[in-house]
């Protein structure tokens, strides 16, 4: 037998195996790790870190052409999601981790079903907080990235790719320089999917002048929010008590007053944006709230004529302002009033906070918020000028005295409101009828201003009766039962996700006026209550936002201001487009609920 004959069976088998080993089919069938299809690099947002500061890092995935990796939360249960795990470090705390938005593709191996994946170059962002006791030197943060790569035909075995983030720590005297700004500008620090993105796009596409003009009009629109209402009464009380008669001087003081508002508001905004703090959080202190209440009460007494608000005589003499409140005093008054607007929050403010936070430039941030707050203060330029000029009108007489008393009643109510926030926040809304009813009786029927003037007397009766009626209606509305909430707990949240129930989380604070509006106006609406019956309703108290649990939740959900309402769907994921920031009425709120749970929405009733 010729063993060298190719037709001999053993040789034929060996030849076939040899050919198979050389074929592309066999090469594709060879076990291949997902790690061979992805390159991983890291970047840090600053050239060096200072002790106690925050910084960002990016883990960059460079995915080979025609290949994808599964999203952090993949579409199919049997697929392995991309997940970054970092080892605990004694000097660095993870404050936030952000995965990129996935793309949706249809794959042959999944029967044409669209899956959520990452492709090309994508970053996973991490925000760190450095220990305040950190010594200068070189440090290393280590971890691993779990990935699973797929092409149109097959998914490879998952892999764990090592991740190493080198961090240089400098001294407190060394100014940190930002780096890789284009990359980290993608870091979404805001509350909604595009928070900050719209502002950034505005600067890129329209240029700085038009972008700042748009920000100015955003500030002007803030005057439509209820949280600025106290500023109206304070402005009238300040300018109504001045004795200045020259129109140019009155306008100059009103301008300085607005500049004071802008200085304070922009300073607070930049501090919140760059520190990651809660906007308006300075109000968490009962002492601050009580102090504001006492200030309002003092202003109210001046409106009733007990005294005139003036700067000390030596200071006014030095400034050459006579008996009138001087220019410096007017500017300082604006600084104080600027504090009152701090709780004003809404999507535009959140977007601006996100944008300024990503830029990391305090000077740019200050001017951005300054222009916003000039828009906010523009109506007070008009109001302050007009109020001061009223004093020049002939025969202003007793009707002007009565108008001052109206603002005195309003300021008294505000004083009681802020003192109530400090002492008994659960009952603070009862201050409104307690102010309107006695105040209406006093202004309409007890006060003797304008006696002998029938038209003015009838006007007083009408306004006084209106205030009493509104106070009675408001007190009846306070008796309406509202939505029943549970205090937030991690166990209750996890149980809801396990049960497959949507979750609504209300981030609120006792000092937050729009939060109180939501509770008494939106969350008492029968349609809103019924449409959330299937949801687990959790209250997250951020009154003391710097507590360990509050800070953890605030950073996890990127809450920059209150009220913020977060909706979690049945799978445990946030429905980002449904998030509520600021006050919404019942009909608008129901539209957000429909994004989460459309089958359970009930149209707003007429009651």
Residues found in the chain: 607
Which regions of 24-120 does DSSP assign to beta strands (E)? 38-44, 54-63, 68-70, 83-86, 92-98, 103-106, 114-118
Identify the helix (H) or strand (E) that includes residue 53.
Answer: none
Of 177, 135, 142, give the one whose Cα is nearest residue 162: 142
Q: Which residue's entry shows tokens 């970092």?
A: 86
Q: Which residue's entry shows tokens 């019956």?
A: 533
Residue 264: the pLDDT is: 81
SS3 category, 116: strand
DSSP string covering 132-185: TTPPSEEEEEEEEEEE-EE-SS-BPBPEEEEEEEEEEE--TTSPP-B--HHHHT
Q: Kindly report, residue by residue over 349-381, the tens digit of the pLDDT.
A: 666 776 676 566 677 778 888 888 888 788 878
- Spell 37-67 as b/e; 16+ CB within 10 A means b: bbebebbbbbebbbbebbbbbbbebebeeeb
**Does the structure show a pLDDT above 70 at 461?**
yes
DSSP string covering 209-233: HHHHHHHHHHHHHGGGSGGGHHHHH
pLDDT band with cut points at 50, 70 and 90 for residue 237: low
Residue 472: the pLDDT is: 93
**Does the structure show a pLDDT above 80 at 528?**
yes
Residue 566: the pLDDT is: 92
- How many CA atoms within 13 Å lie on the side-chain side of 271? 12
Q: Which residue's entry shows tokens 């108008």?
A: 403
Helices (H) and strands (E) in the chain, counts: 19, 16
d(CA 404, CA 236): 8
Which range among 181-190, 309-318, 335-344 shows the weakest confidence by mean pLDDT? 309-318
Beta-carbon contacts of 61 under 8 Å, excluding residues fewer than 6 positions away, are 38, 39, 40, 69, 82, 118, 121, 122, 123, 124, 145, 147
Beta-carbon contacts of 241 under 8 Å, excluding residues fewer than 6 positions away, are 302, 303, 308, 309, 325
Q: Decide the pairing of beta strands 486-487 and 536-541.
A: parallel
With vertex at residue 336, the alpha carbon angle to CA 399 and CA 427, rounded to the nearest 5 degrees, is 80
**Does the structure show a pLDDT above 50 at 323?**
no
- How many CA atoms within 13 Å lie on the side-chain side of 116? 14
Q: What percent of the chain is predicted at pLDDT more than 90?
A: 14
Q: Looking at the DSSP assignment, which residues form a beta bridge with residue 85?
A: 144
- Please write down the long-range contacts of 545-551, taking CB distance under 8 Å and 24 or more positions apart: 545/277, 545/278, 545/281, 545/284, 545/509, 546/281
Q: Kindly report, residue by residue over 547-601, the tens digit of the pLDDT.
A: 666 777 877 787 877 888 999 988 788 887 788 888 888 988 998 888 787 555 5
Q: What percent of the chain is predicted at pLDDT more than 70?
A: 72
Identify the helix (H) or strand (E) that includes residue 34.
Answer: none
Of 175, 145, 149, give the one whose Cα is nearest residue 47: 175
Residue 12: the pLDDT is: 46
Which range among 91-105, 226-240, 473-487 shows the weakest confidence by mean pLDDT? 226-240
Which range among 245-259, 348-362, 490-504, 542-556 shows the weakest confidence by mean pLDDT? 348-362
pTM score, whole prediction: 0.54
Q: Which residue's entry shows tokens 């301008």?
A: 255
**Does the structure show a pLDDT above 70 at 280?**
no
């Amino acid at each position: 037998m010729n063993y060298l004959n190719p037709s001999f069976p053993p040789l034929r088998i060996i030849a076939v195996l040899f050919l198979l080993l050389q074929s592309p089919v066999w090469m594709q069938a060879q076990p291949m790790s997902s790690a061979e299809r992805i390159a991983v690099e890291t970047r840090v947002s600053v050239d060096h870190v200072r002790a106690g500061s925050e910084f960002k890092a990016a883990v960059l995935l460079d995915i080979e052409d025609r290949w994808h990796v599964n999203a952090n939360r993949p579409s199919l249960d049997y697929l392995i999601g991309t997940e970054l795990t970092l080892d605990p470090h004694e000097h660095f705390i993870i404050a936030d981790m952000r995965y990129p938005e996935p793309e949706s593709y249809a794959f042959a191996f999944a029967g044409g079903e669209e899956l959520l994946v990452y492709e090309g170059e994508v970053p996973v962002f991490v925000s760190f907080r450095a220990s305040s006791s950190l010594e200068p030197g070189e440090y290393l943060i280590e971890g691993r990235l779990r990935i699973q790569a797929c092409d149109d035909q097959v998914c490879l075995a998952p892999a764990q790719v090592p991740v190493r983030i080198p961090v240089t720590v400098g001294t407190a005297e060394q100014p940190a320089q930002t780096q890789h700004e284009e990359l980290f500008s993608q870091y979404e620090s805001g509350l909604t999917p595009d928070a900050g993105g719209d502002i950034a796009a505005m600067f890129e596409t329209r240029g700085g002048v038009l972008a700042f003009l748009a920000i100015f009009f955003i500030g002007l629109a803030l005057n439509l929010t209820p949280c600025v209402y106290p500023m109206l009464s304070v402005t009238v009380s300040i300018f109504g008590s001045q004795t200045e008669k020259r129109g140019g001087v009155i306008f100059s003081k009103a301008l300085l007053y607005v500049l004071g508002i802008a200085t304070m508001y922009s300073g607070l905004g930049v501090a919140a944006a760059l520190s990651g703090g809660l906007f308006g959080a300075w109000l968490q202190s009962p002492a601050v709230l009580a102090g504001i209440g006492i200030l309002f009460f003092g202003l109210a007494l001046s409106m009733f004529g007990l005294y005139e608000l003036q700067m000390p005589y030596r200071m006014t003499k030095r400034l050459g302002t006579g008996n009138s409140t001087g220019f410096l005093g007017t500017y300082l008054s604006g600084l104080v009033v600027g504090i009152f607007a701090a709780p004003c929050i809404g999507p535009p403010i959140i977007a601006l906070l996100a944008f300024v936070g990503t830029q990391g430039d305090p000077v740019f941030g200050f001017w951005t918020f300054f222009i916003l707050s000039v828009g906010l203060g523009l109506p007070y330029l008009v109001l302050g000028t007009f109020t001061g000029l009223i004093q020049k009108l002939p025969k202003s007489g007793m009707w002007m005295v009565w108008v001052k008393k109206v603002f005195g009643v309003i300021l008294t109510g505000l004083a009681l409101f802020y003192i109530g926030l400090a002492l008994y926040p659960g009952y603070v809304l009862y201050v409104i009828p307690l102010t309107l009813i006695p105040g209406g009786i006093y202004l309409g029927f007890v006060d003797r201003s304008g006696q002998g003037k029938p038209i003015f007397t009838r006007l007083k009766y009408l306004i006084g009766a209106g205030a009493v009626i509104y106070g009675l209606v408001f007190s009846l509305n306070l008796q309406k039962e509202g939505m029943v909430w549970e205090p937030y707990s991690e166990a209750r949240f996890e149980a809801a996700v396990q049960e497959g129930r949507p979750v609504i989380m209300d981030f609120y604070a006792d000092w937050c006026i729009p939060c109180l509006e939501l509770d008494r106006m939106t969350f008492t609406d029968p349609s809103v209550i019924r449409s959330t019956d299937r949801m687990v309703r959790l209250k997250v108290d951020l009154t003391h936002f710097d507590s360990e649990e509050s800070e953890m939740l605030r950073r996890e959900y990127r809450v920059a201001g209150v009220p913020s309402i977060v909706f979690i769907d049945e799978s445990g994921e946030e429905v980002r487009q449904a998030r509520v920031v600021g006050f919404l009425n019942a009909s608008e709120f129901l539209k957000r609920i429909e994004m989460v749970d459309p089958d359970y929405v009930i149209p707003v009733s007429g009651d």
